Structure 1
Amino acid sequence: MKSNQDTPLLLRKHRTEEWIGRGYTTICVLFLIVIIISIVYFVATKGISTFAINNVSLSDFLFGSTWSPDDNKFGALPFIYGSFLTSLLAAVIASPLSVCAALFMTEIVPSWGKKLLQPVIELLAGIPSVVYGFIGLSILVPFMRDTFPGQGIGVAAGAIVLSIMILPTITSIATDALGALPRNLKEASYGLGATRWQTIYGVIIPTVLPSILTGVVLGMARAFGEALAVQMVIGNAPHIPTSLFESASTLTSVITLNMSNTVMGSVQNNALWSMAMILMLMTFVFVFVVRLLERRHKL
């Protein structure tokens, strides 16, 4: 047994360790805050320069449909439209598949379904985006060319590739939400005579719907910011598509294709930074929507 004389030393040691832990944690948090503020400040100052210094009209930039830097025309609407269109289509394709996979693992065959599908989902999450793009370019694009009108590359191909990429995100969040569901809810439904499917669509899905929507929003956030995979299959045409099988372009693809070919401080370079600022603002919107869904889920 330790003597009473050792007690002050132990207390002093514990206080020192606690002080070190708090100090280290505070430094890490402050460092993250500084990084975030620096990134936001840098992107915002570069993006605003397009309108404050280069005198490009904000309305022409957001709603103009012509992108021609040689003619001093910087209409970003085709790229904004392409980003939203591919992200929404990807979410529409991936959401039902993800929810069905989560229900299969947790409600239909919970004994072996999760052991079978969980490694597959983790494998999909770990595959680099360039692999998705190359597979889409080698397999999906020829299939689309032979089956549907057009050259194969276009909005549909980009949306399908993105839907596969965001599938693990939505599935993982839906699986966690279903796994955390109180068991007495299902037992009460079964006790009232409901079947398994009546319990699923009448009790389980409405209860975890905010969590499922959170996964969908996070999946859309990843799809909205994806560059390489979409760039390889969407065609990168600077116009608003009138069909899902036409070529288009997104904000991320036009930034990655043109940023290295511009001079820092030029009008075109600042216009690309303005597109990056739009991406950053959309990230904030997605985070805000997720917070609202989480608050609704708590209530």
Structure 2
Amino acid sequence: MIMKNASELIARSAFLAGAVISVASVLMIALYMLIAGLPAISEIGPLKFLLGTVWKPTASEPAFGILAMMLTTLAATLGAILLGVPIGLLTAVFLAELAPSRLASLIRPAVELLAGIPSVIYGFFGLQLIVPLAQHIFNIPSGATLFSAILILAVMILPTIISTAETGLRAVPAVYREASLAIGATRIETIFKVMLPAARSAVLSGVILGVGRAIGETMAVIMVAGNVVNLPALFKSVRPMTVGIA
């Protein structure tokens, strides 16, 4: 009994230490960035820094406005989520509820493989295929635009959303499905009115992880977005915040 209590205490202490270290690491990074950036922000002025739309750090009269890059990051992330979440969610539903086991066993490794592809490969794919296609289809001077960045980010967040949502759907007790079918609901009604609501926490987790991936992506975006500081427009070259930091 004493050994059992001691092992539980050790395990609880280890988990607590891990949680404290994780939170402390994030706080230390945020504190370091704040301390390192305060002198520059104080000299420029917080309003000019946050609300300025011109970024020319090497000009004879330098300007350090980050509003355009912040809005570009928000626009690219929102576009990727609007495009990627429905596709990822429907794919997860198909794999968990509708696909034959043999077909699902083929698709699932392909989805997992997408998660392991380096960002630079996605960027190279976008540079060689999406950028020229966008330029040709929309008849614009350059295909390296916000539109291309949204497409690449949407593809990159798919594996996270699909895997997380599928895991959540498979974790829903089978009795939920059986009870819904027993009272006369169709299979599609059961999926969208019973199974998905029951797995909403996993679906939401996948969306949040996808948002984090889209916001933090740098390499692929810098290759397809044009790397020009502009206010966000679908067919203009832009530069998101992560590229500006890099």
Q: TM-score, normalised by structure 2?
A: 0.88
Larger radius of gyration: 1
Alignment of 1:283-298 (within 5 A): none
Residue 48 of structure 1 aligns to which amino acid in structure 2?
Answer: L
Q: CA deviation at 1:113?
A: 3.6
Residue 147 of structure 1 aligns to which amino acid in structure 2?
Answer: I
Asked whether the 8 Å contact 1:63–1:76 carries over to 2, the reply is: yes
Residue 241 of structure 1 aligns to which amino acid in structure 2?
Answer: P
1:81 is matched with 71
Asked whether the 8 Å contact 1:149–1:245 carries over to 2, the reply is: no
Tell me, in whole angstroms, the C-alpha distance in 2 between the residues paired with 1:25 and 1:47.
33
Tell me, in whole angstroms, the C-alpha distance in 2 between the residues paired with 1:136 and 1:113.
28
Counterparts in 2 of 1:184 and 1:16: CA distance versus 1, 3 Å:
closer
1:123 is matched with 113
Tell me, in whole angstroms, the C-alpha distance in 2 between the residues paired with 1:186 and 1:13.
43
Residue 138 of structure 1 aligns to which amino acid in structure 2?
Answer: Q
Question: Which runs of no fewer than 5 residues in structure 2 stay unpaired?
Answer: none
For structure 1, which segment, 158-167 or 66-75, has the greater mean C-alpha deviation from structure 2 after superposition?
Answer: 66-75
Q: TM-score, normalised by structure 1?
A: 0.73
Deviations 1:12-62 (A, max 9, x none): 99899888877776766665455334322211211323233xx22222222
- Runs of 4+ in structure 1 off by over 6 angstroms are 11-27
Q: Give the alignment partner of residue 66 of structure 1, picking from 54, 60, 67.
A: 54
For structure 1, which segment, 176-185 or 228-237, has the greater mean C-alpha deviation from structure 2 after superposition?
Answer: 176-185
Residue 63 of structure 1 aligns to which amino acid in structure 2?
Answer: L
For structure 1, which segment, 108-117 or 130-139, has the greater mean C-alpha deviation from structure 2 after superposition?
Answer: 108-117
Q: Secondary structure at the match of 2:220?
A: helix
Alignment of 1:70-219 (within 5 A): 70-150=60-140, 151-219=142-210
Q: Secondary structure at the match of 2:227?
A: coil
Tell me, in whole angstroms, the C-alpha distance in 1 between the residues paired with 2:182 and 2:235.
50
Tell me, in whole angstroms, the C-alpha distance in 1 between the residues paired with 2:209 and 2:229.
27
Tell me, in whole angstroms, the C-alpha distance in 2 between the residues paired with 1:14 and 1:211.
33
2:44 is matched with 56
Deviations 1:169-188 (A, max 9, x none): 11111001100112122112
Asked whether the 8 Å contact 1:104–1:113 carries over to 2, the reply is: no
Q: CA deviation at 1:214?
A: 2.3
Deviations 1:112-164 (A, max 9, x none): 24311110111000000001001110111111111113211101100111111
- Percent of residue pairs bearing the same amino acid type: 35
Residue 220, structure 1, aligned to residue 208, structure 2:
no
RMSD of aligned residue pairs (Cα, Å)? 2.4
Q: Secondary structure at the match of 1:162?
A: helix
Question: Which runs of no fewer than 5 residues in structure 1 stay unpaired?
Answer: 1-10, 257-299
Tell me, in whole angstroms, the C-alpha distance in 2 between the residues paired with 1:221 and 1:34.
20
Paired residues, number? 243
